[in-house]
Amino acid sequence: MTDTTRKVMLITGGSRGIGAATARIAAERGYLVAFSYRSNQQEADRVLADLLRINGPDSALALQADVSVEADVVGMVQKTIEHFGRLDVLVNSAGIVDQVARIDEMSGERLERMLRINSFGTMICIREAVKHMATRHGGHGGAIVNVGSIASKLGCENEFVDYAASKGAIDSLTEGLSKELGPDRIRINTVRPGVIATDIHASGGNGEKVAEAANFTPLGRAGRPEEVAYGILWLASDEASFVTGALLDIDGGV
């Protein structure tokens, strides 16, 4: 399908949580949406059905692709371009946490997985998108929004410093790439959520984190995925046309 009048957004990790909220709101705002997931096809099918209901047949695409596998990412971007004929916005939302642990309890395997999905995965997705978006490659520019974390500022001692560091890489990448890609008419920004009520906490064995957020968040509660999605959508939009290299904290004041 090639529709040159509507913008195309590719969202990694769009089957659940913040990515899924972003996909639904993007579709409501008229984007053609491609999104990826790692393994949970049932959730991906639900999101896809919602998106198709909003904008009609061929307006959305669900792609199984592990962001930590380079070939998967190359294929994911290729299939998006093949289906929609263009790519305007990349949202990097796929990410993981792990069990609460101190550094001396973390296996090498854990550290490698954390950095491979959260940091390397984001970098590879950006690389592939830039090949299509950058004016130096014949593209028309675009916007990239990363989902970092307020963890990069807090450090998360005694809990998951590996996760915090994997998101610190995203902050640095945002700063450097805003300067590198500006001349190619690509803006790149990062949202840094605080505790948001999604499955990610339970999948890392920290399901109680969402309730605990009430104690340490000035606004007295965890955030909702939609509250992060609105920030992502703004950074992706022309309303943010002079914003690049920004870190937008969406954390209830933490």
- Which residues lie near ligand NAP (CB under 6 A)? 12-13, 15-19, 36-40, 43, 66-68, 93-96, 117, 147, 149, 193, 195-196, 198-200, 203
Nearer to ligand NAP, 24 or 38 (CB): 38
Q: Hey, which residues are catalytic here?
A: 163
Residue 19 Cβ vs ligand NAP, minimum distance, rounded to whole Å: 5
Nearer to ligand NAP, 59 or 149 (CB): 149
- Six-digit token pair at 116? 């491979």
Tokens 């992060």 appear where?
228
Strands 89-92 and 186-193, how do they pair? Answer: unpaired
Cβ atoms 114, 166 nearer than 8 A = yes
Report the C-alpha gap between 20 and 244 in whole angstroms: 24
Residue 251 Cβ vs ligand NAP, minimum distance, rounded to whole Å: 8
Residue 95 Cβ vs ligand NAP, minimum distance, rounded to whole Å: 2
Nearer to ligand NAP, 193 or 231 (CB): 193
Nearer to ligand NAP, 6 or 110 (CB): 110
CA angle 127, 129, 133 (to 5 degrees): 120
Report the C-alpha gap between 82 and 59 in whole angstroms: 13
The beta strand positions in 78-180, using DSSP E, are 89-92, 142-147
Nearer to ligand NAP, 139 or 189 (CB): 189
Residue 5 Cβ vs ligand NAP, minimum distance, rounded to whole Å: 28
51: closest CA among 26, 82, 86? 26
Residue 149 Cβ vs ligand NAP, minimum distance, rounded to whole Å: 4
Beta bridge partners of 91: 11, 145
CA atoms 228, 233, 235, 236: torsion sign: positive
Report the C-alpha gap between 89 and 33 in whole angstroms: 10
